[in-house]
Amino acid sequence: MKLAVIEGDGIGREVIPEAVKVLDAFGLEIEKVPIELGYARWERTGTSMSNEDLETIKGCDAVLFGAVTTVPDPNYKSVLLTIRKELDLYANVRPVKPLPGVVGVIGRSDFDFIIVRENTEGLYSGIEEIGYDLSWTKRIITRKGSERIAEYACKLAKKRKNKITIVHKSNVLKSDKLFLDVCRQTASAHGVEYGDMLVDSMAYSLMMHPEKYDVVVTTNLFGDILSDMCAALVGSLGLVPSANIGEKYAFFEPVHGSAPDIAGRGISNPLAAILCVKMLLEWMGEPRSQVIDKAIADVLQKKIITPDLGGTASTIEVGNAVTGYVMKNM
Ligand code: NAD
């Protein structure tokens, strides 16, 4: 197994080394391939990612990624969007689950759902024209793209409560009618129960009744926005991991960005990145991955927590505590 390790910029450089420590504690045969991408690379070399980098990534099986700062250049092509497209990572999977002892904005911990977001089309198609008086972006919804994300959501639902919620805005965006119809047809074909919600009502409902949802399937931009919002349910952006899954490759990244406001201070929360390692291990079929949940519960209970959760621990202290628990309890 070959793993590309991309720390990126800002706190990506702080949280990924902690995640790698936890991964190393499992003693698996994984060849790690470090790759430098992002804003700092662009500043240094004028490019944030070269074709060679992309080929190196394609030579790996999976990627562990921190975060990159967006390059302030109108011609900048997003590193992340390029990788997702090139590796055809069509399913963006974001579990939203409370962690023991951490209370989010609405003070509840009775929810456990997964947002499955179509990751290659929608408003992130990259087909756009930016002008002085007129700018536009094409929103692409295809039958194939909708079918495969619906298939993914249904397969996941079968392992859980056999129920999906399709999130769309088909009352205004006619392109979403195709997405909605295909998701309904796919759910019926799989014998999966389904309901649907308009994205605006869904945002409200997720805050009021998060316990009602299990597998939520939606288009690219809606999924992006809803999943950041749902990080507030969990308690911090520093707690939410994500996986980008394709037929051949998988790519794991915390939901948060490079957080320039706290970067370099050693206080970023590494738990989202560490939970990415858990998702990576699950993807690899490693049965011991659950020990990471136990390790995180242990450090939270001992209040070894970073300032975003009200603690005083550093990124490295949290990483060391999780790694120590994993090594002792595997
Ligand atoms: P952000 O997620 O970086 O930060 C939002 C807020 O959450 C900040 O106050 C930050 O301090 C806090 N936060 C985020 N992660 C945290 C952690 N692990 N521990 C503690 N606090 C944490 O979003 P932003 O500020 O809008 O974006 C900063 C840069 O990151 C931008 O250039 C943006 O384009 C980029 N970005 C990259 C990714 C990615 O690479 N996947 C995702 C989102 C944003």
Give the CATH number of the domain where residue 122 resides.
3.40.718.10
User: Does 185 sit in the ligand 1 pocket, CB within 6 Å?
Assistant: no
Number of structural domains found in the chain:
2
User: Counting atoms of ligand 1 from 1, which one is nearest the CA of 228?
Assistant: 2
Residue 96 maps to a domain: no
| Residue 190 and residue 128 share a domain | yes
| Residue 314 and residue 242 share a domain | yes
Could you give the CA distance from residue 4 to residue 37 in angstroms, rounded to a whole number?
Answer: 11
| pLDDT for residue 249 | 97
Residue 245 maps to a domain: yes
| Residue 163 and residue 57 share a domain | no
Residue 82 maps to a domain: yes
User: Does 239 sit in the ligand 1 pocket, CB within 6 Å?
Assistant: no
Cα 54 to middle of ligand 1, angstroms: 24
| Residue 316 and residue 273 share a domain | yes
What range defines the domain where residue 173 resides? 103-234
3 state SS of 14: helix
pLDDT in tens, 142-199: 999 999 999 999 999 999 999 999 999 999 999 999 999 999 999 999 999 999 999 9
**DSSP-assigned letter for residue 140:** B
**276 Cβ neighbours under 8 A, 6+ residues apart:** 19, 64, 241, 242, 243, 252, 253, 254
Work out whether strand 62-67 and strand 2-8 pair parallel, antiparallel, or are unpaired.
parallel
User: Counting atoms of ligand 1 from 1, which one is nearest the CA of 272?
Assistant: 18
Residue type, 196: D
| pLDDT for residue 256 | 93
> Which of 37, 258, 316 maximizes ligand 1 atoms within 8 Å of its Cβ, making it the mutation to test the pocket?
258
Residue 72 maps to a domain: yes
The last residue of a domain, from among 234, 264, 292: 234
User: Does 259 sit in the ligand 1 pocket, CB within 6 Å?
Assistant: yes
Residue 77 maps to a domain: yes
| Residue 199 and residue 121 share a domain | yes
| pLDDT for residue 189 | 98
| Residue 191 and residue 252 share a domain | no
| pLDDT for residue 132 | 94
| Residue 83 and residue 28 share a domain | yes
Q: Which two tokens stand for residue 284?
A: 């690899």
User: Counting atoms of ligand 1 from 1, which one is nearest the CA of 261?
Assistant: 11
State percent of the chain over pLDDT 90: 92
The last residue of a domain, from among 181, 208, 234: 234
User: Does 114 sit in the ligand 1 pocket, CB within 6 Å?
Assistant: no
Residue type, 248: K
| Residue 216 and residue 126 share a domain | yes
| Residue 220 and residue 144 share a domain | yes
Residue 98 maps to a domain: no
User: Does 269 sit in the ligand 1 pocket, CB within 6 Å?
Assistant: yes
3 state SS of 254: strand
Max intra-chain CA distance, the chain: 62
Whether 167 contacts 216, CB under 8 Å: yes
Cα 274 to middle of ligand 1, angstroms: 16
The last residue of a domain, from among 206, 234, 262: 234
**159 Cβ neighbours under 8 A, 6+ residues apart:** none
Residue 174 maps to a domain: yes
Instruction: Enumerate residue ranges in the chain where pLDDT < 50.
Output: none
Cα 67 to middle of ligand 1, angstroms: 8
Instruction: Enter the pTM of the model.
Output: 0.93
Q: Determine which residue's CA is closest to atom 17 belonging to ligand 1.
A: 238
Contacts of the segment 48-54: beta carbons below 8 A, 24+ positions apart: 48/76, 48/79, 49/79, 49/82, 49/83, 54/82, 54/83, 54/86
Cα 281 to middle of ligand 1, angstroms: 25
User: Does 253 sit in the ligand 1 pocket, CB within 6 Å?
Assistant: yes
Residue 114 maps to a domain: yes
